[in-house]
């Protein structure tokens, strides 16, 4: 089995401040770190010898002590609708998934933050895989690095560019806080990918203390996975709600958007599960909860997976739900399902997780009969 770590320092594990500090420890000037960042992220260079504006002695020093490590491509799939899904193998035997969704004026990369997920949301296939570990910063930003290279190499995708990143792949990003923040810094940094804060989104099930911390640490957009507007139902769908119930969640969201004329808002995600949370009374509850709050609701048609135990809401139910929100002046959109022919849609990402939570055992028996 491949070892999890290497004795060399992975330069992709540092954001700008971290790399500058590291360069000081090896008696190099901070501006050298900036030069290296440009090679890594602007030019996609993974070989020290190609960093031609660095002195040969520095290149040799880096070669001896450092590495540029990104996960390895295990499989790539291209969907009929142009969506790409990549499975990346990590050191130590797990693999993770990232998805690229091209649209007319943008290209969105959906990035994983953990190997599996510890949160056990009842409708999510990643949850069924159990949990192994947090991704390093290099493994998070490495997905952007690799996707950039892979898009460029394929004649069918070489004109596609990553304009947006959403932390909506495998895992709960806010439970991998420190590594996440460094990776976000690199996405935003001009010496990194230079994306605007409106185009980098962290999606969370509602880890409240970490939401407050994130607000202080880095300026990005926030999506909150709500899925139900009452505690009983939300606790069933998102068990984290038992720890952080809706009232506290909304107080934290209020702190996130701030007071006064700041233009922050939150996107609330709401998966549409047939007969579970998609009825008019659920829409009315949601209106009551969100009325006047600076937000947008994104309705996500449930993406099925084997033995999920749920069905996707009908188009009529989704439409009816949407109309109730809209009539009550809540801005709502419905997420178009993309890449489902290659299991790349929301909640279908599974990777290869060497589960350490023993959760997979729980799902050996189907919950609601064989066919769902
Ligand atoms: N842990 C984070 C990010 C994970 S997934 C979070 O909970 O926000 C990103 C979005 O996809 C979340 O809103 C999640 O609830 C939703 N999702 C998960 N499984 C799904 C499925 N099977 N169909 C549709 N959306 C799903």
Residue minimizing CA distance to atom 12 of ligand 1: 225
Query: For the segment 28-38, what is each residue's pLDDT rounded down to a tens digit?
Result: 999 999 999 99
The average pLDDT across 355-367 equals: 51
> Which pLDDT does position 149 carry in this prediction?
95
Q: Which residues, 6+ apart, have CB-to-CB distance to 220 below 8 Å?
A: 184, 188, 197, 200, 201, 202, 214
Phi, psi of 2 (to 5 degrees): -65, 145
Mutating to test ligand 1, I would choose from 124, 125, 167, 270 the residue with most ligand atoms within 8 A of its C-beta, which is 124
Distance 347 CA to ligand 1 centre (A): 5
Of all protein residues, the one whose alpha carbon is nearest to atom 4 of ligand 1 is: 168
Domain residue spans of the chain: 9-67, 72-363
Band the pLDDT of 347: cuts 50, 70, 90.
low
pLDDT, tens digit, for every residue of 265-292? 999 999 999 999 999 999 999 999 999 9
Architecture of domain 72-363 in CATH?
Alpha-Beta Barrel (3.20)
Q: What does the longest C-alpha to C-alpha distance in the chain come to? A: 69
Long-range contacts of 359-364 (CB under 8 A, 24+ apart): 359/120, 359/127, 359/128, 359/130, 359/131, 360/128, 360/129, 360/130, 363/128, 363/307
| Ligand 1 centroid, distance to 286 Cα (angstroms) | 18
Catalytic annotation on 346?
yes
User: Domain 9-67 has what CATH class?
Assistant: mainly alpha
Instruction: State mean pLDDT over 193-204.
Output: 97
Decide if 124 is catalytic.
no
Choose the catalytic residue: 97, 139, 172, 269.
97
- 208: Cβ contacts below 8 Å, ≥ 6 apart: 244, 248, 249, 252
* Catalytic position from the list 66, 124, 295, 346: 346
123 Cβ below 6 A of ligand 1: yes
Comparison of pLDDT for 175 and 6, the residue scoring more: 175
The DSSP output letter for 17 is H
Fold matches, 9-67 and 72-363: no
Q: How far is the CA of 268 from the centre of ligand 1 (A)?
A: 11
Note the pLDDT of residue 30.
Answer: 95
Residue 79: count other Cβ atoms within 10 Å of its Cβ.
19
């Amino acid at each position: 089995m491949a070892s999890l770590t290497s004795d060399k320092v992975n330069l992709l594990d540092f954001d700008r401040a971290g790399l500058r500090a590291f360069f000081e420890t090896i008696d190099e000037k901070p501006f050298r770190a900036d030069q290296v960042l440009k090679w890594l992220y602007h030019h996609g260079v993974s070989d020290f010898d190609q960093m031609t504006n660095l002195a040969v002695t520095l290149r040799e020093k880096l070669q001896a002590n450092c590495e540029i490590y990104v996960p390895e491509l295990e499989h790539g799939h291209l969907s009929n609708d142009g969506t790409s899904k990549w499975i990346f193998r990590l050191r130590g035997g797990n693999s993770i998934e990232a998805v690229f969704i091209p649209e007319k004026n943008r290209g969105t990369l959906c990035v994983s933050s953990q190997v599996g997920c510890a949160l056990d949301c009842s409708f999510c296939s990643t949850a069924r895989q159990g949990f192994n570990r947090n991704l390093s910063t290099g493994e998070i930003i490495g997905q952007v690095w690799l996707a950039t290279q892979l898009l460029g190499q394929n004649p069918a995708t070489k004109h596609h560019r990553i304009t947006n990143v959403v932390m909506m792949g495998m895992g709960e990003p806010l439970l991998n806080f420190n590594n996440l923040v460094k990776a976000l810094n690199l996405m935003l940094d001009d010496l990194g990918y230079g994306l605007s804060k409106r185009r980098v989104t962290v999606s969370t099930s509602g880890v409240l203390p970490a939401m407050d911390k994130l607000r202080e640490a880095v300026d990005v957009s926030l999506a909150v996975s709500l899925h139900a507007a009452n505690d009983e139902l939300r606790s069933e769908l998102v068990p984290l709600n038992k720890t952080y119930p809706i009232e506290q969640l909304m107080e934290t969201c209020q702190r996130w958007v701030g007071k006064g004329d700041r233009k922050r808002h939150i996107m609330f995600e709401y998966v549409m599960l047939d007969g579970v949370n998609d009825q008019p009374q659920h829409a009315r509850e949601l209106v009551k909860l969100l009325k006047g709050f600076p937000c947008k609701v994104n309705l996500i048609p449930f993406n099925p997976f084997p033995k999920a135990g749920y069905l996707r809401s009908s188009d009529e139910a989704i439409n009816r739900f949407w109309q109730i929100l809209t009539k009550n002046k809540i801005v709502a959109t419905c997420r178009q399902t993309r890449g489902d022919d290659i299991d790349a849609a929301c909640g279908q990402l599974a990777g290869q997780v060497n589960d350490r939570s023993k959760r997979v055992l729980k799902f050996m028996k189907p919950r609601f009969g064989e066919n769902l």
